Amino acid sequence: MQLRRDLVEAIVAHARRDHPDEACGVIAGPEGSDRAERFIPMVNAARSPTFYEFDSTDLLKLYRELDANGEVPVVIYHSHTATEAYPSRTDINLAAEPDAHYVLVSTRDPHEHELRSYRIVDGEVTPEPVDIVDSYDPLLPED
Amino acid sequence: MAVTVSIPTILRSHTGGEKSVAASGNTLAEIIDDLEANHGGLKARLVKEGSLHRFVNVYVNDEDVRFSGGLDAKIADGDTVTILPAVAGG
């Protein structure tokens, strides 16, 4: 997956800011593009170092806004603050967006973060490389 | 009461890919039974042991039904029911 450098920096900054609680959010992009463009940090309603959950009112507002814009959550990110950037059993059980890239960032080391991306579909985790780029190639015009 | 139910991506395999479907009922429980009759398999994804799944959010218009009676939430003609899986993890 390609991910713009400024978006990676925004994820890491959010995760550092909320540490030791888990931080979470999405990066939206046009439906069908598989391109993460619009950074949307969310409140972790659980305010917990071991769990995250979008507030249910915020969740409805988010999906209405995405629908209205023709966007989808291309990336769903959250932090692990004491463990590695690998999906936990809970992450796998609750993953409900089969088209999303699940990006995890670990802030357990105060100086070096670890950022990884996965597909999580039907309980199966597939790691994928993250290609950090300064900008995306222009989208090809549709036929 | 006839309503429109918005279906999340992960459950669209039960609706032939449709993003929203029609259903009828006077309570959320009746709506879900009606959904099940036309789109088999949906109910088990929404209800567990007589209650809504902890990590499935259902809204009637703008209200999370957890605050308005859960499966007993009243449904009026023309309401919009939205199903959204929680975005959550550990």
Rounded to a whole number of angstroms, the distance between the first and last alpha carbons of chain A is 24
Whether A54 contacts chain B with CB within 8 A: yes
Looking at residue A34, what is its pLDDT?
95
Looking at residue A138, what is its pLDDT?
82
**What is the residue whose two structure tokens read 């391109």?**
A35
Residues with Cβ within 8 Å of A132's Cβ and at least 6 positions away in sequence, in order, are A3, A4, A5, A8
In B, which residues are within 8 Å of A88 by CB distance?
A: 89-90
* Coil, helix or strand at residue B34: helix
Q: How far apart are CA A7 and CA A64, in angstroms?
A: 22
Whether A85 contacts chain B with CB within 8 A: no
Q: Which residue of B has its CA nearest to A42?
A: B87
Q: Of the candidates B66, B82, B90, which has its C-beta nearest A90's C-beta?
A: B90
In A, which residues are within 8 Å of B63 by CB distance?
A: none
Query: Which one has a higher pLDDT value, A133 or A140?
Result: A133
Q: How far apart are CA B33 and CA A92, in angstroms?
A: 28
Q: How large is the ipTM?
A: 0.94
| H or E element, residue A18 | helix A5-18
Q: One digit per residue, pLDDT tens: chain B, 90 residues?
A: 899 999 999 999 999 999 999 999 999 999 999 999 999 999 999 999 999 999 999 999 999 999 999 999 999 999 999 999 999 999
Stated pTM of the model: 0.94
